[in-house]
Amino acid sequence: MTLLEYINSEKRGFFLPDMGTNGLFLTRYKAYEVYENPQKQLQLAKVMDETFPSDFIYSFCDGIIFCETLGLEILKPEDDFPSVLNHPMVDSEALKKYEIPDPYTSGRMPVNLESLSLIAKNIDKPLYVSIQGPFTLAVQLAGATQLLRSIITNPEFVEKLLAFTTETVRRYSVAVNKAGAKYISISEPGAVTLNPERFNKYVVQNVEKIYGDLTCWKGMHICGDTSEILDNMLSCSLDAVSLDQIMDYEKIKDRIPKEIVLIGNLDPIDLLGNGKPEDIKKETVKLMKAMRENDNYLCAFGCNCLNDTPVENLQMAIKTGRMSYEELDGIKS
């Protein structure tokens, strides 16, 4: 079954929740207790599924795994995403000090693969995994300013760094696919800084090397205003595309090919984080009605939610997004 067939398998809306670290307060685990323990990963996934029942299952978001495995200095808050504190790969000489990780032996990667396998085997829903893309990983390793400057001053280094990050992401993505992931989304927020020509050169050809080796549903997410690069994103071998909440889906929906699922884009900050449940329902219904005639639409958040987003707000968004079409059509605008 394709992703498009899955979201049209019932006469209702489907919902893909991407809630990042929101589950920690439900279990009272700290972030690295979950990252380092497959059983706690599974328990967290089950608690999240019970509290926020949706149409996909997901693991605790692990966007730091590449930088951590490569030995970069990491800030590790107890209840939110880890982040890198330094960017050591500033030129070709620095890059020579690093080896491409083996997902089955390097760092915490084998533990995470075990976690994903446990979740896939124990919860009967498509397992969704978001993985950092090659360009965004390059931004993390070299620093945004250094990488963007090097595109002009040292393009040979940029090519070598992207070859390194592409192979790193490709190997890990293939392993995640084999562990049971049904839908892998490549997240490339760092690429929003590129114009269409450079997006083709530095993103499209590299993510295609990854997608070509995957047998699951394949997606891409980029934050921010992607109006200029949307067609370039859609030129990739995608099953789905996910865009930021600042993108007006009523205006761009006709640019999306019918065979590619458009995912999004409820505001995770002002709406989910600061709104009331009645606000959440109103805006979700508005979005669902605007996209009602598009069979390739899947309701979701525009990006990760804040870790202190009220539970009732998340539940209202998911419940409303999964409303039957009969009930949705009965609500007056």
pLDDT at 257: 97
CA 59 centroid distance within chain: 11
Type of residue numbered 28: R
State the pLDDT at residue 23: 82
Q: Which of 29-43, 76-90, 267-281, 317-331 has the lowest mean pLDDT?
A: 76-90
Higher-pLDDT residue of 332, 274: 274
Query: What is the mean pLDDT of the segment spanning 61-86?
Result: 91
- Position 18 scores a pLDDT of 82
How large is the average pLDDT for residues 23-28? Answer: 86
- pLDDT score of 183: 98
pLDDT > 80? residue 6: yes
**Interval 81-100: pLDDT, tens:** 899 999 999 999 999 999 99
What does the mean pLDDT of the chain come to? 95
231-242 pLDDT, tens digit each: 999 999 999 999
